[in-house]
Chain A
Amino acid sequence: MSTTKSVIRSIKNVANGYSSVQVMVRNATSNDPTGPTTAQMADVANHTYESGEFLEVMDMVDRRLNDKGKNWRHVAKSLTLLDYLVRFGSEDVVLWAKENLYIIKTLREFQVNDLTGTDQGAIIRVKAKELTSLLRDDERLNQERELARQKMID
């Protein structure tokens, strides 16, 4: 099943003309039940330091964040990715996230039930709450980014 899906995804990547960074973001935030892996997120984070690619990354993250309920994994994973980028990505990511805080804030009430009726929105609500409070707290954000920098040097 998942191999067919990943084949379809690679066709879509070509058909829609996504750049290689955007494909990277799409793979990291796909509907696969696992991931995104730290390696995937680190790859994306490195690309946010390139000014042209930064916008491509954020454009894709923005689309994933606003995906419909059926694709709740896209939303959950892109929140995970964005949280990582805010810590490890370029300063531009922080500016983007603050500028577009309302996109994240409004996800704090995300609702979705899967076919079995279980509430899958809870994970998104928690992630959105956590990320919102991080972005509001400049002091903590600077600390986290400092910590991340040290981790990258090690």
Chain B
Amino acid sequence: MLGFGNRSDSDIQTSLKKACSSDEVAPKRKHVRACILYTWDHKSSREFWHVLKLLPIQSDEVQLFKALIVIHKVLQEGHPSCLIGGYKNISWIESIGRFSASSGLKGYGPLIKEYVFYVIQKLHFHHDHRGFNGMFEYEEYVSLRAVSDPNEGFESILDLLSLQDSLDGVQRVIFSSVQRNRDSECIISALVPLIAESYGIYKFLISMLRAMYRSSQSDDVIAPLKDKFDVQHRRLYDFYADCSTIKYLSTLVSIPKIPPTPPSLMVDSNEPNT
């Protein structure tokens, strides 16, 4: 193989340092991308976590928040081993969350706390359910497996629902801090991975719930899941509507469009997914 020199030698330390700089702007995509590519090129996330833990960011709320965004992006788009590496480093991620709200003047305290909670929950989820990738991109076989084992399916759906709940929590905290100062690009940029992830979870929930309805005899068992899904659907609809009012977001990523009313879950699989 010819050496893909430019990239393999790229220094992850420099990329991470630049991605988690103290400037109150979004983490630069090119540095985040360099971290993601590094994990694929080396098929390992060890170096990423190692370097990240050595960065002197613990005293700066902006740097900590940016580090969390970088972690989230790498978990989503990086090599699958990142999720395993992240699970091993949960206690370190937890230590970020101990940044107390009083020691930060810019008000990142609550944001960091909520985001840490979410990232940890995500890591636990991926640890318990190995079939999902970091971005929750649609893979049919997971829903097939859920049908063959209704108990496992029930549990997966329950866990997905509660992950979506905490995602909604982060999203709310972000929006409430954005309202105080309008052009806070740094805070808004945290919504980018959340939009993609919430939509991935949403699509999974629909296909798994539909599969459950097809396979199980009594609808009563699934009814509480469906009620919860309907509530989440409405919140998600509002979330995407809020996001599309922010120009920075709508030019950068395509914000998914979902119908204002929850889709029916008892239709045939032949019907196009919404």
Interface size class on chain B is: 10 to 19
Complex: chain B residue closest to A69, CB-CB: B30
Q: Which residues of A contact B2 (CB under 8 A)?
A: 55-56, 59
Given A55-B2, A103-B37, also A68-B30 (CB < 8 A)? yes
In the complex, the answer to whether A59 meets B4 with C-beta atoms within 8 Å is yes
For the complex, give the distance between the alpha carbons of A69 and B251 in Å: 17
For the complex, give the distance between the alpha carbons of A109 and B73 in Å: 11
In the complex, the answer to whether A109 meets B253 with C-beta atoms within 8 Å is yes
- Bitwise interface map of B from 15 to 48 toward A, beta carbon under 8 Å scored 1, else 0: 0000000000000011001001100100000000
In the complex, the answer to whether B1 meets A55 with C-beta atoms within 8 Å is yes
Complex: chain B residue closest to A109, CB-CB: B29
For the complex, give the distance between the alpha carbons of A136 and B29 in Å: 24
Complex: chain B residue closest to A119, CB-CB: B251
Q: Which residues of A contact B30 (CB under 8 A)?
A: 68-69, 111
Q: Which residues of B contact A68 (CB under 8 A)?
A: 30
Given A59-B2, A68-B30, A69-B30, also A102-B253 (CB < 8 A)? no
In the complex, the answer to whether A109 meets B36 with C-beta atoms within 8 Å is no
List, sorted by A's number, 21 A–B pairs whose CB atoms are closer than 8 Å: A63-B4, A66-B6, A66-B7, A66-B37, A102-B36, A102-B37, A102-B77, A102-B79, A103-B37, A105-B77, A106-B36, A107-B33, A109-B29, A109-B33, A109-B252, A111-B29, A111-B30, A111-B252, A122-B251, A125-B252, A129-B254
Q: Which residues of A contact B6 (CB under 8 A)?
A: 63, 66
Distance from A8 Cβ to chain B, minimum over Cβ atoms (Å): 20
Distance from B37 Cβ to chain A, minimum over Cβ atoms (Å): 7
Number of A-B residue pairs having CB atoms within 8 Å of each other in the complex? 39
Determine if A110 is an interface residue (Cβ-Cβ < 8 Å). Answer: yes
Complex: chain A residue closest to B192, CB-CB: A109
Complex: chain B residue closest to A105, CB-CB: B77
Q: Which residues of B contact A105 (CB under 8 A)?
A: 77
Determine if A144 is an interface residue (Cβ-Cβ < 8 Å). Answer: no
Complex: chain A residue closest to B30, CB-CB: A69
Determine if A62 is an interface residue (Cβ-Cβ < 8 Å). Answer: yes
For the complex, give the distance between the alpha carbons of A51 and B269 in Å: 44
Distance from B72 Cβ to chain A, minimum over Cβ atoms (Å): 13
For the complex, give the distance between the alpha carbons of A69 and B192 in Å: 20
Residue in A68, A103, A106, A119 whose Cβ sees the most chain B Cβ within 10 Å: A106
For the complex, give the distance between the alpha carbons of A56 and B4 in Å: 10
